[in-house]
Chains A and B, each alone.
Chain A
Amino acid sequence: MKTIIIILSIFAITSVNSQAAYEKGMGKAFELWGNQKNDEAANLFERIGKAEKDNWLPFYYAAQIHIVTTFGIKDAEQIESRLTKAQNYLNEAKTFSKGNAEIMIMEAMLNTAYVVYDGAKYGMTHSAKVEELYQKAKIIEPENPRAILYHAEWQMGAAKFWGKDPKAFCPEIEKAISLFDLEKSTVPFYPSWGKDQIERIKQNCK
């Protein structure tokens, strides 16, 4: 009996240890990211993802870092290799979590990055993908503020391109704002980003 208790407590400690290590690691990665050490943060997310084996979140964030980084650089080779890497991370994330709206939103961002980087080459094929991914995400989670906000921004961009009024999508932004406030998750490190982009996107409504 005692032996069993001892063995059980060893297991408990090990699992507490690994949960603690996960939270510490994720916390450290977000800290690095916050300090603009993007590549180090992405590396750490990748390491956590590889160690955890069944958690989509580290891969999701590793992808997000690479996607966001490409918006600030010009070098084609770097953009292509970062986006390829990001797609690989998202593919890993998808194997652990199927039909995940957050991953779809991130994949829509990834395809947006391709269109932004070279519209002539990727515009036709990837624009349709972006649209499809946002629509799928909204079907799964109709109240996801990121899906609503970024889909609205994407549609505003398209409206501007076609010489239409982007203001038509402003009510969507208001809807997203109220949903951001309601957002609560019990899963640690669950995506909750995007609120800080509202002001920028709202510029289209002035």
Chain B
Amino acid sequence: MKSLLTTILLLTLAFLQAQTTISGTVTEPSGVPIPGANIYLDGTYDGSSSADDGTFSFTTTETGEQILVVSFLSFETYSLNVSVSEMKNLKIALKEDVNSLGSVILNAGTFSAGDNSKASVLTPLDIVTTAGAAGDYIGAFQTLPGTSTVAEDGRLFVRGGDANEANVYIDGLRVFQPFAATANNIPTRGRFSPFLFKGTNFSTGGYSAEYGDALSSVLLLNTIDEPEQEKTDLSFISVGLGVGNTQKWKKNSLSVNAFYLNLKPYQEIISQRVDWIKPFESLSGEAVYRHQFDKGLFKLYGGLNYTDFELIQEDINVPEGINFGLKNRNLYINASYKGDLGNDWTVATGASFANDHNTIKIVETNVDNDDNAAHLKVKLRKRFSNRFKLSFGAEQFLGNFKEEASDISFGNFQSSFKNNSTAAFSEANIFFNKKLAMQLGIRATHNALLDFTKISPRASLAYKIAEKSQISLAYGDFYQAPQQDILKYNSSLDPEKSSHYIFNYLYQNNGRTLRAEAYYKSYDRLAKFDTEMPQFGSNYNSNGDGYAAGLDLFWRDNKSIKNLEYWASYSYLDTERDYRNYPERATPNFATSHNLSVVGKYWAKDWKSLISATYNFASGRPYTDPNTINFLGEKTRTFNSLDMSWAYLISQQKILFVSVSNVLGFDNVFNYQYANTPNINGDFARRAIRPTADRFFIVGFFWTISDNKTDNQLDNL
């Protein structure tokens, strides 16, 4: 009897649970039905998929308030918290996921390279397999539109700006001396080994409020979060030797590498236009340590570089040439932490420090300088939803420069300055929908040395006009303190200012990308002086100004021809400026009206070879001929260079690499130096400034040793 009672009781319990039918329709915001969406009561088995017409219906025994969840690919998950009895004939319009591949991107001014496929126009591999770049991280960016070919310098000249207007950041922190020390007219290279980085953003204008003190451009490099595996890399190159090793244990990893470069044997074989007394020799070491916390990642980067060379620089006014020697020692430390604070808050903070020491000898003058610089930064970001994110932060720059020059004629001369500045920034990222997005930012900077406070607004807007194409606009004001060579003599100048106006069109379709960008940039308050070089006693003012306008085109195609990838960039630039010691507005020597780069990479499967070619063209560079009355009124002949490289994979982990720059031996002229005084015919004689050698060869052997035997150094070439 009792057991019967129990049974009845249990059965009643089961049957008492009455069934309710839940029904409705799932659509896109436009009303188009979504088939295949997943609809269910959270935490229960009750649910269904939507039919072809977007309708769904299922029964549940649940009662009272429940959470109905609707999820579908490329859409934001929707949830509804109401009583089950009210879940009838629901009309659910899912919001598009603005993070999906088909969404609009805020890209005006920017080139991305990395895994973030949405915004990328280059892959990490592209950056290092570009012929002519020869493993220089900066080299590949010089094939992108918006840059001018200034082959004798090696740094980035962006949209009519000189190289000092571009800043480099690693993991959000400033790199103070990103380029190796070099002499006039001998191209420099980036200090950092390419294999430390996973992603890159190169902005040619209109960049985020997070970055300041750059008038033209920022290059943002991100180091690898976690190396894939333990390995040892060995490189034997015609000009040096390198070794690298990566170790992983528990939540830590450490990568170290060292490189020794000596151009002496090379320069003994290949004749040079420069008379080297002590050929270029450098030793560099880098280490990155990473530690993974439960909710964050800590990275510590340290690099030490030592460079030494001495040469006789040809000079038309000094028949015996100018003896120039340089010893440079550079230390750079960068520590950063990125973490999750919970509740959709994230923090990115860190500090970088650089010490740069130069011992320079110019004929009888000895110069010793020491530059200490530091950057401290903290940035917080709150994700309110996929559609609205807010970030803000503050940073402090500290700079301390000291120089001592000694010369028989004027004795000892000391100069020094402290360049400290503080900045705060905030930026909001708003996606109205999958088609329309906006970023608004503001930055305030106070510089203690020059005693100025400036507010700079930044804005960009992107709108998707069709499935494969979008347009975007960007605007921003940018301030930068004058350069070191001026600040050491004068600290009463204004900050230099530029304003960017950018219009961008982007078309992306299955491996093909077309990007067109038109821009106008104005310059104001540029520093000026009245002597040949900035020096003690020159008159300084901030009355310089200028403009740059142009059009950048980029076309990339990975699909049309099998195993061939290529891209082409063309830049048109119209610029004039009055700065430094210019007597009037003129187009500077580094600015060329037309720039063209074509980069191709062909994977020859049967030969196990990656063959790359890069062709660079630049129209003539302005120079001043004192035999005429015009300042910067003449133009050199055009610049042409065809660079080729061939990587042959002996086996999966052994690579033989050959690279030749300027294969066709074009005779390029960058500029002319004229005599200070006319000769007996009343003419000013001149000397062409040309590359130190027409061609540069590299032969290398790269060997990777790792347990799994798949990795190689193709990505470092």
- Partner-B contacts on A (CB < 8 A): 2, 5-6, 9-10, 13, 21, 25, 39-40, 42-44, 46-48, 50-51, 53, 76-78, 80-82, 85, 118, 120-125, 127-129, 131-132, 135, 158, 161-163
Residues of B with C-beta under 8 A to A42: 38
Provide the bound-state CA to CA distance between A123 and B565, in Å.
15
> Residue among A25, A39, A118 with the most chain B CB within 10 A?
A39
Provide the bound-state CA to CA distance between A56 and B115, in Å.
28
Question: Would A132 and B125 count as touching, CB distance under 8 A?
Answer: no
Provide the bound-state CA to CA distance between A98 and B40, in Å.
27
Question: Would B229 and A78 count as touching, CB distance under 8 A?
Answer: no
Provide the bound-state CA to CA distance between A129 and B649, in Å.
21
Q: A6-B9, A43-B49 are in contact. Are A127 and B38 (CB under 8 A)?
A: no
A191 to chain B, nearest CB (A): 22
Question: Would B43 and A39 count as touching, CB distance under 8 A?
Answer: no
Q: Closest A residue to B608 by CB, please name it.
A: A163
Question: Would B228 and A43 count as touching, CB distance under 8 A?
Answer: no
Residues of A with C-beta under 8 A to B97: 81
- Partner-A contacts on B (CB < 8 A): 2, 6, 9-10, 13-14, 36-38, 40, 42-45, 47, 49, 69, 71, 73-74, 97, 100-102, 115, 117, 120, 123-125, 198, 228-229, 510, 558, 565, 605-606, 608, 649, 651-652, 707-708, 710-711, 714-715
Residues of B with C-beta under 8 A to A122: 115
Residues of A with C-beta under 8 A to B714: 124
Question: Would A121 and B120 count as touching, CB distance under 8 A?
Answer: yes
B204 to chain A, nearest CB (A): 22
Residues of B with C-beta under 8 A to A47: 38, 40, 45, 47
Residues of A with C-beta under 8 A to B6: 2, 5-6, 9
A92 to chain B, nearest CB (A): 13
Q: Closest B residue to A78 by CB, please name it.
A: B73
Question: Would B123 and A158 count as touching, CB distance under 8 A?
Answer: no
Question: Would B124 and A50 count as touching, CB distance under 8 A?
Answer: no
Provide the bound-state CA to CA distance between A161 and B649, in Å.
11
Residues of A with C-beta under 8 A to B47: 43-44, 47
Which listed residue, A5, A53, A162, touches B649 by the CB 8 Å rule? A162
Provide the bound-state CA to CA distance between A154 and B677, in Å.
72
Q: A81-B101, A128-B710, A162-B651 are in contact. Are A121 and B123 (CB under 8 A)?
A: yes
Dominant SS among interface residues on chain A: helix
Q: Closest B residue to A53 by CB, please name it.
A: B43
> Residue among A21, A128, A161 with the most chain B CB within 10 A?
A128
Q: Closest A residue to B228 by CB, please name it.
A: A128
Question: Would A125 and B228 count as touching, CB distance under 8 A?
Answer: yes
Residues of A with C-beta under 8 A to B14: 13
B711 to chain A, nearest CB (A): 6
Which listed residue, B45, B115, B124, B708, touches A25 by the CB 8 Å rule? B45
Provide the bound-state CA to CA distance between A132 and B711, in Å.
11
Question: Would A120 and B565 count as touching, CB distance under 8 A?
Answer: yes
A156 to chain B, nearest CB (A): 13
Provide the bound-state CA to CA distance between A82 and B97, in Å.
13
Q: Closest B residue to A129 by CB, please name it.
A: B228
Question: Would B101 and A128 count as touching, CB distance under 8 A?
Answer: no
Question: Would A128 and B229 count as touching, CB distance under 8 A?
Answer: yes
Provide the bound-state CA to CA distance between A102 and B69, in Å.
29
Question: Would A131 and B710 count as touching, CB distance under 8 A?
Answer: yes
Residues of B with C-beta under 8 A to A6: 6, 9-10
Provide the bound-state CA to CA distance between A129 and B224, in Å.
14
Question: Would B49 and A132 count as touching, CB distance under 8 A?
Answer: no
Question: Would B45 and A51 count as touching, CB distance under 8 A?
Answer: yes
Q: A43-B38, A158-B652 are in contact. Are A132 and B9 (CB under 8 A)?
A: no
A15 to chain B, nearest CB (A): 14
Question: Would B101 and A76 count as touching, CB distance under 8 A?
Answer: yes
Residues of B with C-beta under 8 A to A129: 228
Which listed residue, A125, A158, A163, touches B115 by the CB 8 Å rule? A125
Provide the bound-state CA to CA distance between A44 and B37, in Å.
11
